[in-house]
């Protein structure tokens, strides 16, 4: 390295100030090493969108003072809703001891707060800085190139999100296939706190996380979400890019269909649309996780495809992978070894954590569901609604007659071979999870 380059050198550079990047940077700073956190946006969170839920276990591990953060509402109620054309069946889970396990936060505020904490602990933050490429010399990643300068480090932690151009540049990742990615679109709808509490049956500052499947998102691997902020609700969908292409649908058309359903329409009635955003979500699961490290670099969070779609978890996997990459960087300094031989520790740490354990547990679920989504996300939700329609209706017609018709329709409208395939997929999902 030349004299000039030595002036432009630090211990660790982290690219991307989302949950993965900030967790990596703060871990390195806590270990006493110099770290620069580089972000293309004017402030952390400015360009970031997600559904809205942060998990307390991860937040607490990185930020023990997380309760001082700009939190919208703690999740006191989890609701799961199945929609047919006009009907809806809702199951809700509540437990007072469970109330502080997750909370809703707005990324523009949360990410900014996280970076402020990191700066207090010695992280140097460089906003408005787009990393164009990684500098690779003799096969080893040793820095970053921005529009105005080159900067060097012993280790670069790549946390630049789902479409990581940097991981692609160094050969750790290939282009994402449409089947391995979902598109999330979200509206934020302003409503009074009183209206939210009444419509979601909440008290005070308690919040609700709602997941929705069924008719408006027909025949696609797609789910809806509604999360309550203080005085607005986030309403969105996540849909497989491949299914959108196949069905020739536009994402906002799907979201509009969801908003028109009577169940959802009642929740947002009279609300004012204040924000619209879209973002990709890694959907490939365990089987699509790329190589996680190379000489001089590690990739974390969405850049490494670390999302648990079954449980709508991404921020916690991002934060933990960032922390483990940070710890690995510190171990590399102890041994003065920044090669793959040392950085493989990062993959081992991930394997031993809930991050890869959970992803392994669900490794085939999305694939099996995507083959049977017209059944699991439409046919059965529709029949559950039909069942409750009969069960809850007293209209003078004998119940036996109605249930006989329901059972006949159930088997006539779905061939035995389709039912058999659903049963096999269901068994494979259950055995896959338990084995």
Ligand X SMILES: Cc1cc2nc3c(=O)[nH]c(=O)nc-3n(C[C@H](O)[C@H](O)[C@H](O)COP(=O)(O)OP(=O)(O)OC[C@H]3O[C@@H](n4cnc5c(N)ncnc54)[C@H](O)[C@@H]3O)c2cc1C
Which listed residue (186, 199, 323, 386) binds ligand X by CB under 6 A?
Answer: 186
Binding mask of the shown chain, residues 109 to 138, with x at each position contacting ligand X by CB under 6 A: ---------------------xx-------
Q: Return the structure tokens found at 221.
A: 């691997």
- Window contacting ligand X (CB under 6 A); options: 79-87, 155-163, 251-259, 404-412: 155-163
Q: How far is CA 427 from CA 2, 68, 244, 369, 378, in A?
A: 61, 45, 27, 12, 19
Helix (H, G, I), strand (E, B) or coil at 10: strand
Q: Are 286 and 306 in contact (CB under 8 A)?
A: no
CB of 224 vs ligand X, minimal distance in Å: 11
User: CA 36 to CA 308: how far, in whole Å?
Assistant: 29
Site membership for ligand X, residue 16 (CB under 6 A): yes
- Window contacting ligand X (CB under 6 A); options: 39-47, 194-202, 343-351, 394-402: 39-47
Site membership for ligand X, residue 78 (CB under 6 A): no
- Window contacting ligand X (CB under 6 A); options: 241-249, 266-274, 299-307, 330-338: 299-307
Q: Return the structure tokens found at 148.
A: 């105005």
Site membership for ligand X, residue 13 (CB under 6 A): no
User: CA 382 to CA 83: how far, in whole Å?
Assistant: 7
Q: Exposed, middle or buried by CB within 10 Å (0-12, 13-18, 19+), for 58?
A: buried
Q: Are 233 and 76 in contact (CB under 8 A)?
A: no
Q: Are 277 and 52 in contact (CB under 8 A)?
A: no
Angle at 289 between CA 287 and CA 295, to 5 degrees: 140
Site membership for ligand X, residue 325 (CB under 6 A): no
CB of 90 vs ligand X, minimal distance in Å: 19
Nearer to ligand X, 99 or 418 (CB): 99
CB of 389 vs ligand X, minimal distance in Å: 31
Nearer to ligand X, 209 or 369 (CB): 209
User: CA 435 to CA 432: how far, in whole Å?
Assistant: 6
Site membership for ligand X, residue 238 (CB under 6 A): yes
Site membership for ligand X, residue 283 (CB under 6 A): no
CB of 138 vs ligand X, minimal distance in Å: 23
Q: Return the structure tokens found at 108.
A: 């523009």
Q: Output the DSSP codes for 250-305.
A: -HHHHHHHHHHSHHHHHHHTT-EEEEEEEEEEE---GGG----EETTEEE-GGGGT
Site membership for ligand X, residue 39 (CB under 6 A): yes
- Window contacting ligand X (CB under 6 A); options: 50-58, 248-256, 266-274, 334-342: 50-58
Which listed residue (207, 296, 301, 305) binds ligand X by CB under 6 A?
Answer: 301
Site membership for ligand X, residue 362 (CB under 6 A): no
Which listed residue (52, 214, 224, 326) binds ligand X by CB under 6 A?
Answer: 52
Angle at 76 between CA 75 and CA 80, to 5 degrees: 85
Q: Are 200 and 191 in contact (CB under 8 A)?
A: no
Widest CA span in the chain: 91
Nearer to ligand X, 255 or 281 (CB): 281
Which listed residue (87, 243, 283, 313) binds ligand X by CB under 6 A?
Answer: 313
Q: Are 375 and 417 in contact (CB under 8 A)?
A: no
- Window contacting ligand X (CB under 6 A); options: 13-21, 251-259, 328-336, 349-357: 13-21
Residues that bind ligand X in the complex, under the rule CB under 6 A: 15-21, 38-41, 47-48, 50-53, 130-131, 159-161, 184, 186, 236, 238, 279, 281, 301-303, 307, 312-316, 318
């Amino acid at each position: 390295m030349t004299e000039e380059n030595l002036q432009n050198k630090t211990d660790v550079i982290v690219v991307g100030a989302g949950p993965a990047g900030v967790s990596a940077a703060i871990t390195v700073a806590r270990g006493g090493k110099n770290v620069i956190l580089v972000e293309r946006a004017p402030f952390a969170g400015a360009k970031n969108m997600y559904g809205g839920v942060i998990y307390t276990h991860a937040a607490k591990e990185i930020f023990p003072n997380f309760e001082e953060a700009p939190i919208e509402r703690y999740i006191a109620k989890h609701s799961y809703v199945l929609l047919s054309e006009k009907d809806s069946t809702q199951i809700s889970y509540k437990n007072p001891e469970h109330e502080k396990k997750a909370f809703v936060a707005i990324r523009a505020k949360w990410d900014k707060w996280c970076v402020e904490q990191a700066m207090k602990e010695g992280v140097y933050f460089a906003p408005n800085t787009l990393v164009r490429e990684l500098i690779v010399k003799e096969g080893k990643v040793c820095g970053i190139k921005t529009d105005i300068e080159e900067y060097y480090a012993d280790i670069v932690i790549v946390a630049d999100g789902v479409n990581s151009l940097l991981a692609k540049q160094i050969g750790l990742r290939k282009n994402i296939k449409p089947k391995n990615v979902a598109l999330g679109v979200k509206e934020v709808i302003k409503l009074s706190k009183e209206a939210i509490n009444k419509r979601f049956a909440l008290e005070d500052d308690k919040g609700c996380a709602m997941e929705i499947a069924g008719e408006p998102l027909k025949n696609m691997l797609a789910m809806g979400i509604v999360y309550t902020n203080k005085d607005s609700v986030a309403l969105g969908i996540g849909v497989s890019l491949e299914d959108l292409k196949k069905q020739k649908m536009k994402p906002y058309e799907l979201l509009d269909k969801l908003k028109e359903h009577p169940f959802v329409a009642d929740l947002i009635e009279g609300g004012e649309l204040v924000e619209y955003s879209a973002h990709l979500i890694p959907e490939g699961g365990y089987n699509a996780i790329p190589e996680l490290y190379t000489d001089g670099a590690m990739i974390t969070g969405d850049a490494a495809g670390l999302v648990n779609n079954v449980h709508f978890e991404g921020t916690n996997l991002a934060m933990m992978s960032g922390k483990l990459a940070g710890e690995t960087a510190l171990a590399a300094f102890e041994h003065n070894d920044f090669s793959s031989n040392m950085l493989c520790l990062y993959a081992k740490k991930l394997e031993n954590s809930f991050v890869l354990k959970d992803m392994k547990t669900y490794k085939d679920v999305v694939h099996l569901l995507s083959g049977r989504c017209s059944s699991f996300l439409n046919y059965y939700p529709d029949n559950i609604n039909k069942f409750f329609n009969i069960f809850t209706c007293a209209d003078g017609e004998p119940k036996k007659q109605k249930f006989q018709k329901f059972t006949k329709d159930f088997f006539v409208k779905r061939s035995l071979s389709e039912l058999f395939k659903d049963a096999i997929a269901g068994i494979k999902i259950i055995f896959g999870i338990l084995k």
